[in-house]
């Protein structure tokens, strides 16, 4: 039964004397998280504000950019003998006049949850029921796209919109005329496009003691949707992942086929949400019932039954983290199913959840001291930060999932096949970058903290790696920004036609590990992507 091949290193008896194995050292990680999405704590966090401020701030921040783009493209443009005119406010659009105007997109969709409906029905839902889409594919006419600014609202129509996908909250400039119905016939649209991108290491160069070895390729590992349920059924691949990350298993270093797959190259693991699978208040009732233990109903305190709490998933996650942390630094983002607040930005999972792993976390911050990034860094969702000099912007996937509901996927009435679906998802991610807004549909259809003085979802500085967790399938793409030829731009890249200064973003749609067993590795020098997939071979035993 034993495999014949002695060619494999480990399929031979051990050598007589135990030779000292050379310890392998992991490359250091340069890490600088940003606190863009940290909410004020305690009394500083208010929920009384109106959400309108967020839209106002977003428009105020992005309107200059989009108007700049639009001016460049449309200034002096003459269509059918008529000169295109710029209109400052939506309300100033005159009927029959060719003009362009910038504003916020608002989409009214038949299936979209509407707070006014809830109020009028005196029916306060605790959470919007999950819907695959807000659109009604059978009747596209029910979808209304509008543009609004402080002054008013303008309905957009036209064939051009059919080929364009928009979502509520995006800031655009539209060119067209108002028709007899009072609708705005759109003939072209401009987006803010990619935000200015900083160079690698810009502003966060490592300390002089650490050299930036250009030839030394490191890896940033991404994983998402670990889906730990605490039962043994889901964790065999997790064990393999642990073994791999710790260097116990995997590729031998001298293999020419995989010079870069050695796990010692991985400098940091980023966990993008949904680390826990089952709800923590799992089927305890059924479990106890099956045990035959007739549990006396304890009196519930404040409606909370402590005995129904299933700590096992969190415990297993803690064990997993505590096992890999001695070797690899970890950035943990919460996700939809994780024990954090539900509305974006989700705040970091509290370290009290991780009695073992928290030893590696940063100590609790003193009164007004700046928080130092810990070896184990529990961060917000979405999250922004610098890893190995690259700017990362990522979300656990809620943003992409929600924008997808605004979009009618062509060809897919009910269940689009995986390829078009993941295609659409990566396109949405691209669109977000070009909208310069990471979570455009917040606060409309994604619950959000009511920011008042700022809209942090606006992407001020274009990231190098833009990732979204918990997608059904792994997908990646690289996009490049338009290299502006204008000389008066606020972007400092006028000299390069297609030089290295053009914004270049690696998009990553991270799959759910619990379903695919995939770990995504991104090269720190080239931003090339590799996948390591862990699985259990379904052999004869299962096929019986």
Partner 1 sequence: MDSKLYLAENVLNERRPVTYRSLSRALKVHANRAKHLLFEFHRSENAKKPQTVHATYVISGFQKAPEPAPTNGHADDEDETMQSSPYLPSSMPNQDTDSASIRTAFIVLVREEDLEDAKATFQSISTIHVYSLEPTALPDLNALVDANREIAITHAQEDPLECGKQWGMIQNRNVKRRTGARPPPAAAPAAKVPAAKASKPSTESTVPAKRPFQKEVSAKTENTKSEEPKSEPSSAANSQTSSKPSSKTAPAKKGSLFSSFAKAKPKAKAPTLAEPATTSASEDVVLDDASEEEAEELFPNSTDTAAAAAAAAANREARKEREERLKKMMDDDEDEADDEEMPDVDEEPREPTPVEQPPPSKPAELKEEVTVQGGRRRGKRQVMKKKTVKDEEGYLVTREEATWESFSEDEPAPKKKPVNVPKAKAPKAAGQGNIMSFFGKK
Scanning residues 400 to 439, which ones bind partner 1 (CB under 8 A)? 423, 426-427, 430-431, 434
68-127: contacts with partner 1 (CB under 8 A): 73
Residue 201 Cα to chain centre, angstroms:
22
Shortest distance, CB of residue 237 to partner 1, whole angstroms?
A: 8
Place of tokens 């309905």: 155
Q: What is the DSSP string of 223-288?
A: E----B-SSGGG-HHHHHHHHHHHTSSS--TT-SS-TT--GGGEEEEEEES--B-S-SS-THHHHH
Is the CB of residue 103 less than 8 Å from the CB of residue 147? yes
147-176: contacts with partner 1 (CB under 8 A): 163-166
Taking CB under 8 A as the criterion, the residue among 65, 135, 516, 524 binding partner 1 is 516
# binding residues, partner 1 (CB under 8 A)? 108
By the rule CB under 8 A, 10 interacts with partner 1: yes
Q: Which helix (H) or strand (E) holds 160?
A: helix 159-162
Q: What is the DSSP string of 427-462?
A: HHHHHHHHHTBSSTTTTTTS-B---SS--TTB-SS-
CB nearer to partner 1: pick between 185 and 188: 188
Shortest distance, CB of residue 193 to partner 1, whole angstroms?
A: 7
CB nearer to partner 1: pick between 57 and 172: 172
Q: Which helix (H) or strand (E) holds 222?
A: strand 219-223
The 10 Å Cβ neighbour count of residue 245 is 25
Question: Which range in 45-53, 90-98, 272-280, 469-477 contacts partner 1 by CB under 8 A?
Answer: 469-477
Show the tokens assigned to 129: 């029921």
Question: Which range in 88-96, 130-138, 280-288, 534-542 contacts partner 1 by CB under 8 A?
Answer: 534-542
Shortest distance, CB of residue 482 to partner 1, whole angstroms?
A: 5
By the rule CB under 8 A, 538 interacts with partner 1: yes
By the rule CB under 8 A, 17 interacts with partner 1: no
By the rule CB under 8 A, 24 interacts with partner 1: yes
Nearest alpha-carbon partner for 457 in 401, 348, 382? 382
CB nearer to partner 1: pick between 283 and 480: 480
Taking CB under 8 A as the criterion, the residue among 112, 405, 475, 512 binding partner 1 is 475
The 10 Å Cβ neighbour count of residue 46 is 10
Binding mask 242-281 for partner 1 (x = CB under 8 A): -xx-xxxxxxx--x-xx--x-xx-----------------
Taking CB under 8 A as the criterion, the residue among 26, 200, 219, 337 binding partner 1 is 26
Query: What does DSSP say about strands 383-387 and 31-34: parallel, antiparallel, or unpaired?
Result: antiparallel
Taking CB under 8 A as the criterion, the residue among 62, 325, 395, 465 binding partner 1 is 325
């Amino acid at each position: 039964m034993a495999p014949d091949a002695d060619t494999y290193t480990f399929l031979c008896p051990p050598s007589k004397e135990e030779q000292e194995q050379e310890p392998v050292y992991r490359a250091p990680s340069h890490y600088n998280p940003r606190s863009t999405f940290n909410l004020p704590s305690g009394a500083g966090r208010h929920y009384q504000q109106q959400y309108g401020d967020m839209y106002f701030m977003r428009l105020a921040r992005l309107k200059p950019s989009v108007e700049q783009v639009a001016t460049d493209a449309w200034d002096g443009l003459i269509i059918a003998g008529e000169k295109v005119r710029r209109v400052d406010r939506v309300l100033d659009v005159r009927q029959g006049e060719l003009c362009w105007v910038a504003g916020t997109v608002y989409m009214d969709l038949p299936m979209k949850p509407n707070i006014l409906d809830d109020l009028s029905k005196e029916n306060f839902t605790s959470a919007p029921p999950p819907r695959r889409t807000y659109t009604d594919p059978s009747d596209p006419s029910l979808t209304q796209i509008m543009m609004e600014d402080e002054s008013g609202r303008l309905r957009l129509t036209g064939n051009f919109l059919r080929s364009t996908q928009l979502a509520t909250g995006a800031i655009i400039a539209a060119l067209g005329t108002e028709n007899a119905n009072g609708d705005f016939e759109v003939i072209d649209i401009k987006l803010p496009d990619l935000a200015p991108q900083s160079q690698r290491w810009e502003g966060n160069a490592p300390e002089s003691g650490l050299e930036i070895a250009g030839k030394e390729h490191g890896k940033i590992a991404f994983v998402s949707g670990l889906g730990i349920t605490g039962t043994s059924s889901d964790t065999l691949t997790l064990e393999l992942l642990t073994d791999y990350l710790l260097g116990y298993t995997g590729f031998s270093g001298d293999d020419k086929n995989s010079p870069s797959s050695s796990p010692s190259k991985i400098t940091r693991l980023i966990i993008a949400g949904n680390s826990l699978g089952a709800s923590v208040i799992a089927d305890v009732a059924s479990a106890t019932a099956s045990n035959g233990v007739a549990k006396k109903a304890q009196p519930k305190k404040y409606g909370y039954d402590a005995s129904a709490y299933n700590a096992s998933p969190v415990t297993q996650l803690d064990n997993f983290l505590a096992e890999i942390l001695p070797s690899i630094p970890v950035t943990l983002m919460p996700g939809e199913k994780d024990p954090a607040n539900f509305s974006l930005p989700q705040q970091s999972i509290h370290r009290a959840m991780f009695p073992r792993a928290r030893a590696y976390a940063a100590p609790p911050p003193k009164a007004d001291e700046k928080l130092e990034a810990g070896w184990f860094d529990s961060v917000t969702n979405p999250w922004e930060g610098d890893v190995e000099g690259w700017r990362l912007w990522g979300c656990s996937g809620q943003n992409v999932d929600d924008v997808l509901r605004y979009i009618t996927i062509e060809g897919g009435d009910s269940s689009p096949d995986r390829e078009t679906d993941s295609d659409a998802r990566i396109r949405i991610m691209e669109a977000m970058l070009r909208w310069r807004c990471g979570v455009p549909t917040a606060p409309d259809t994604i619950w959000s903290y009511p920011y008042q003085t700022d809209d942090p979802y606006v992407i001020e500085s274009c990231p190098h790696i833009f990732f979204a967790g918990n997608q059904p399938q792994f997908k990646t793409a690289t996009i490049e920004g338009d290299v502006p030829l204008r000389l008066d731009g606020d972007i400092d890249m006028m000299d390069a036609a297609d030089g290295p200064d053009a914004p270049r973003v690696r998009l990553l749609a991270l799959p759910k590990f619990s379903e695919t067993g995939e770990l995504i590795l991104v090269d720190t020098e080239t931003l090339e992507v590799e996948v390591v997939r862990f699985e259990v071979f379904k052999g004869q035993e299962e096929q019986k």
